[in-house]
Amino acid sequence: MQKNIFIISLLLLCTAQLFAQDSTMLKVHFLYGSKPKKAFKHMQKKWFGSLIGGHAGIECGDGKILHFLPHGKFHKIAKPNKHGRYVYNSYKDFYEILGGSIDSNQQTVVYIPVCMQQKQKYDSIVNAYTNNTPYDYAFIGYRCGSATYDGLSQLGILPR
């Protein structure tokens, strides 16, 4: 019995080591909008969509974040002429998108381990989407949250 436990422990240890060598961390970044209460208006400003606003993007291993932005005239409903664009920015540029900084923005980062195949797929999405945005940026359509979901679903992390 003790021998079986030792063998199982050894196998688990080896498997964990292999997984650690064949994985990297994907980070999903969320920034929150702000609508301060009256008592705090002198200290905080309203920015980027207030309570329901914010921004989202995906990073995977190189310190740059892929995110979807409007570009051109805003559309209420998605149209064939795309005015959105994917950008691949540094932390600084991503976190300044709402007018704040890395230290001043309200934020959450979710860490997800991914295998090398998912990392390679992420890299191909970055290349394809920054060269040719697949959809329009619209109020009823894709915006940063749904675009982030699209990327995560293509990586097999969320359902399509």
115-142 pLDDT tens trace = 999 999 999 999 999 999 888 787 887 8
- Of residues 44 and 155, the one with the higher pLDDT is 155
Q: Which pTM was predicted? A: 0.72
For residue 79, is it left (φ>0), alpha (ψ between -120 and 50) or beta?
beta
Taking the CB of residue 3, how many other CB atoms lie within 10 A of it?
7
Quote the distance between the C-alpha of residue 153 and its chain's center: 12
Residues 49-63 have a mean pLDDT of: 75
Tokens of 99: 């007018």
C-alpha span between 112 and 157 (Å, rounded): 9
Residue 94 has pLDDT above 70, yes or no: yes
Residue 110 has pLDDT above 70, yes or no: yes
Residue 97 has pLDDT above 70, yes or no: yes
